[in-house]
């Protein structure tokens, strides 16, 4: 009947596609919910740190000038880290969680394409079965129903066209999937790197400011009676 690839090979290719799409749905669904949950946990860490900043500031206000200044500047550095954490949270949402959500929409589209192909293929099989039945029922040497033969040809052409589109969409999906995996995870890594670099910078300042307090001047003040 002049079909492009042999019927069985095409059906098994479609089964491979279905398996690939189902596998991607499974793992990308998990990546998405884990990344969303990771981001929520970072937000909780920011909340706890914000509370700590507030308590440190309140405490500083109850202390003598030197400890007050040191505690206040420490609280300010800690607050800066939280600003960077807030930026981290927003970037994780935008560059990791959202793209993973969009990805599940792409997977749904891919599923719809597969379903469309399966429907066309079922119709072709139905038409073929009908033609076979008509040929059996017809008297010998009589030409089988031209109408049924036409339906079979039309269904086969449909299947061929849908199959071609499916193959194209799937190739595109496979190509995009690899690019997406790479983009999403390197965006995750980049967002985390920026945060860690900034936090390291701010904590270095905080460390210096806590230690500048430790030396000479401030400890001397301690041995004097309270003012």
The reply on whether position 38 binds a copy of itself by CB under 8 A is yes
Candidates 4-12, 144-152, 156-164, 219-227; binding stretch for a copy of itself (CB under 8 A): 219-227
> Which structure tokens are listed for 2?
């002049």
* φ, ψ dihedrals at 49, nearest 5°: -65, -35
The reply on whether position 72 binds a copy of itself by CB under 8 A is no
Contact by Cβ (8 Å): 221, 66: yes
The reply on whether position 104 binds a copy of itself by CB under 8 A is no
Nearest to a copy of itself of 18, 192 (CB atom): 192
The reply on whether position 207 binds a copy of itself by CB under 8 A is yes
The reply on whether position 193 binds a copy of itself by CB under 8 A is yes
> Which structure tokens are listed for 182?
């790479």
User: Which of 5, 9, 27, 217 touches a copy of itself (CB under 8 A)?
Assistant: 27
> Which structure tokens are listed for 223?
């041995």
Nearest to a copy of itself of 35, 131 (CB atom): 35
- Strand runs (DSSP E) across 73-187, as ranges? none
Residue with the two structure tokens 């596609």: 17
Nearest to a copy of itself of 98, 201 (CB atom): 201
User: Which of 12, 23, 109, 147 touches a copy of itself (CB under 8 A)?
Assistant: 23
The reply on whether position 174 binds a copy of itself by CB under 8 A is yes
* Helix-helix angle 98-137:7-61, to 10 degrees: 160
d(CA 227, CA 224): 8
The reply on whether position 15 binds a copy of itself by CB under 8 A is no
Reported for 119-126, long-range contacts at CB under 8 A and 24+ positions apart, including other chains, are 120/155, 120/158, 120/159, 120/162, 121/11, 121/14, 121/159, 121/162, 123/155, 123/158, 123/159, 124/152, 124/155, 124/156, 124/158, 124/159, 126/155
Rounded to 5°, the CA angle 77-80-83 comes to 160
Site size for a copy of itself, by CB under 8 A?
54
User: Which of 3, 51, 94, 112 touches a copy of itself (CB under 8 A)?
Assistant: 51
The reply on whether position 172 binds a copy of itself by CB under 8 A is no
For a copy of itself, the binding residues (CB under 8 A) are: 16, 23, 27, 30-31, 34-35, 37-38, 41-42, 44-45, 48-49, 51-52, 55-56, 58-59, 62, 67, 70-71, 74, 174-175, 178, 181-182, 185-186, 189-190, 192-193, 196-197, 199-200, 203-204, 206-207, 210-211, 213-214, 218-219, 222-223, 226
């Amino acid at each position: 009947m002049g079909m492009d690839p042999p019927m069985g090979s095409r059906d098994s290719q479609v089964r491979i596609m279905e398996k690939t799409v189902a596998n991607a749905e499974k793992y990308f669904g998990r990546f998405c919910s884990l990344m969303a949950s990771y981001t929520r946990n970072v937000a909780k860490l920011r909340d706890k740190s914000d509370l700590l900043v507030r308590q440190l500031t309140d405490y500083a206000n109850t202390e003598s000038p030197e400890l007050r200044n040191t505690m206040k500047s420490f609280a300010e550095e800690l607050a800066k880290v939280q600003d960077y954490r807030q930026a981290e949270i927003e970037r994780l949402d935008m560059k990791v969680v959202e793209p993973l959500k969009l990805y599940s929409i792409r997977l749904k589209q891919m599923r719809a394409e597969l379903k469309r192909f399966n429907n066309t293929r079922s119709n072709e099989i139905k038409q073929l079965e009908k033609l076979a039945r008509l040929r059996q029922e017809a008297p010998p040497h009589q030409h089988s129903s031209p109408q049924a033969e036409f339906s079979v040809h039309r269904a086969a052409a449909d299947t061929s066209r849908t199959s071609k589109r499916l193959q194209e969409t799937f190739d595109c999906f496979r190509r995009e999937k690899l690019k997406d995996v790479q983009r999403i995870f390197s965006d995750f890594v980049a967002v985390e790197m920026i945060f860690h670099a900034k936090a390291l910078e701010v904590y270095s300042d905080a460390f210096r400011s806590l230690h500048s307090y430790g030396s000479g001047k401030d400890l001397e003040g301690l041995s004097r009676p309270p003012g």
